[in-house]
Amino acid sequence: MYNYQYPVDSLIREMKFKQHPEFAHVLGYHLAAKLGAHCKIQAEVLIPVPLHKYRLLQRGYNQSLELAKVLRRYLGIPIDNDCCQRIYDTPPQISLPARQRKANVRGAFSLSGTHDYQHILIVDDVITTGSTVNEIASLFVKAGIQSVSVCALARTGSGLD
């Protein structure tokens, strides 16, 4: 929805790293409004990018799940927070150059159970190289999901992922 630049970059960093999950509610509302106004959302379910259990314990919340909760409220699309897990505690993408990000998340996620979905919407906070969402999307495609969409608060070509 936004370019990863001031003031959005500051708000996202505060949300993620400085214990301000409430920023997800404000930013998520704007994302929901834009998606509702400009996109025909046909996804059956929202899939927030999962955090590893250690990162979740450290942070106390998953910012992508917080965004997905806002989207659920305004778009009426349910969340499945259990079907995709981060199984490896990989280094944060922020700490890696772009060329290492794909390798960092390769094999870091797994799917559980069976999925009757035809179209999913992956929710993330920031997309840089697309490595994280591509890794997750490829798992769902291999599992038979016909259509995968992605939404994020911000996109950048050289910043954070």
Interval 21-39: pLDDT, tens = 899 999 999 899 888 777 7
3-state helix, strand, coil split of the chain in percent (to 5) is 45, 20, 35
Per-residue pLDDT at 153: 94
Q: Which of 38, 15, 40, 19 is nearest to 28 (CA)?
A: 15
**Using CA atoms, how far apart are residues 81 and 114, in angstroms rounded to an integer?**
14
Per-residue pLDDT at 10: 93
In a domain, residue 161? The reply is: no
In a domain, residue 18? The reply is: yes
In a domain, residue 160? The reply is: no
In a domain, residue 89? The reply is: yes
Per-residue pLDDT at 103: 75
Tell me the residue range of the domain where 137 lies. Answer: 2-155
**Using CA atoms, how far apart are residues 117 and 148, in angstroms rounded to an integer?**
10
* CA 52 to chain centroid: 13
Per-residue pLDDT at 23: 92
CATH value at residue 58:
3.40.50.2020
Per-residue pLDDT at 6: 92
Parallel/antiparallel/unpaired status of strands 147-155 and 109-111: unpaired
Per-residue pLDDT at 9: 92
Per-residue pLDDT at 159: 44
Q: How many domains does the chain have?
A: 1
Low-confidence ranges of the chain (pLDDT < 70): 91-92, 94-95, 157-161
pTM reported for the whole predicted model = 0.90
